[in-house]
Amino acid sequence: MFENAINWKKQGDIGMCYAMAYYSKLGWTISIPITDSQDYDIIVDNGINLLKVQIKTTTQVTKYGIPSVNLRTNGGNKSGTSTKNFDENTCDLVFVMTSNSEFYSIPRYEIEATTSINLGEKYLPYKVDLL
């Protein structure tokens, strides 16, 4: 899925477009911040609440073939050039796109880790379809 992404920023752009397509498919309104200094990538309005969404993409898999997602942020926002661990208070949802075209919309309260997660059985209820 990311074979034409020339760098990780382009890979992130692909993930953002798929996230916007997914939440738009639900009928939600999408807002994009004008800067890159916040800890979330988009805001979605589901008609009841405004939800901050952090978008992640991954090409990594465990030795068992389970996609693994880095939750840390590397530069490009408030963390400057340093690495910042995932903080459950910075977003409401985490949208994940894997290199084999799997998508997840995970509520932040389901994520206990601060550096990475494996998208195994725990996260299967949050696997979503874009068709």
The Cα 12–Cα 77 span in angstroms is 14
pLDDT tens digits, one per residue of 81-113: 567 888 878 899 999 999 999 999 999 999 999
Helix (H, G, I), strand (E, B) or coil at 56: strand
Instruction: pLDDT band for 79, please (50, 70, 90 cuts).
Output: very low
Burial of 4 (0-12, 13-18, 19+ CB in 10 A): exposed
Distance CA 28, CA 50 (A): 10
Q: What is the rounded CA–CA span in Å between residue 80 and residue 113?
A: 22
How far apart are alpha carbons 93 and 107 in whole angstroms?
Answer: 5
Looking up tokens 């550096």 gives 115
Residue 81: its pLDDT value, please? 55
Q: What is the pLDDT of residues 14-26, one digit of tens each?
A: 899 999 999 999 9
Confidence band (pLDDT; 50, 70, 90) for 2?
confident
Asked if 87 contacts 79 with a C-beta cutoff of 8 angstroms, the reply is: no
pTM given for the model: 0.90
Q: What tens digit of pLDDT does each residue of 62-76 get? A: 999 999 999 988 665
* pLDDT over threshold 60, residue 77: no
